[in-house]
Amino acid sequence: PRLLLLNGPNLNLLGTREPDVYGSATLADVEDLARTTAEAVGLELRTVQSNSEGALVDAVQAAREDCDGLVVNAGAYTHTSIALRDALAAVALPFVEVHVSNVHARETFRHHSYLAPLASAVIVGAGVQGYAFAVQRLATMLAEQSA
């Protein structure tokens, strides 16, 4: 089984971007953590990061061909993108939504997610460890599915 780790806009700047909010781990650190966590439970991991909404939609659509679930941190598109929500609804794969920061402790425009109603789980405010939790949750769900 294979997971897609999808990171949206500005997450390429992790580690240097507002470190008081997002910490010091880089995107490469996040991808390594997610891959190590996935491989430990027998899953493959593909990673995509894009700053473009359309590229994220394309990546979700492509996941239908060869992935079994997704970990999604859509960054600010979480709060704006009906297109990304529609793509996730269309592929109908289980996904876990992750936010490094506790969005509920921040500006009110970050409190609403277009994606959350479709998500299997939402993990916010756990720092980059949230990505590892998300991978583990999907591994459990996929194991239960195939049992």
Residue 85 interacts with ligand DQA (CB under 6 A)?
no
Residue 73 interacts with ligand DQA (CB under 6 A)?
yes
Beta-strand ranges (E) seen in 10-102 are: 44-49, 69-73, 95-99
Subset of residues 11 to 70 that bind ligand DQA, contact rule: CB under 6 A? none
Q: Which residue is nearest to ligand DQA (CB)?
A: 75
Residue 100 interacts with ligand DQA (CB under 6 A)?
yes
- In three-state secondary structure terms, 122 is strand
101 is in an annotated binding site: yes
60 is in an annotated binding site: no
Beta carbon nearer to ligand DQA, 73 or 142: 73
110 is in an annotated binding site: yes
Concerning whether 99 is annotated as a catalytic residue, the answer is: yes
Concerning whether 22 is annotated as a catalytic residue, the answer is: yes
User: Among residues 22, 77, 114, 131, which one is catalytic?
Assistant: 22
Neighbouring-strand partners of residue 114:
none
What is d(CA 130, CA 96) in angstroms, rounded to the nearest whole number?
Answer: 10
86 is in an annotated binding site: yes
- Which tokens hold the place of 99? 């936010």
Task: Spell out a b/e string for 79-92, using b for 16 or more CB atoms within 10 Å of the CB, else e.
Answer: bebeebbebbeebe
What is the binding site for ligand DQA (CB under 6 A)? 10, 73, 75-76, 78, 99-101, 103, 110
Catalytic positions are: 22, 99
Annotated binding site: 73, 79, 86, 100-101, 110
Annotated binding site for substrate: 73, 79, 86, 100-101, 110
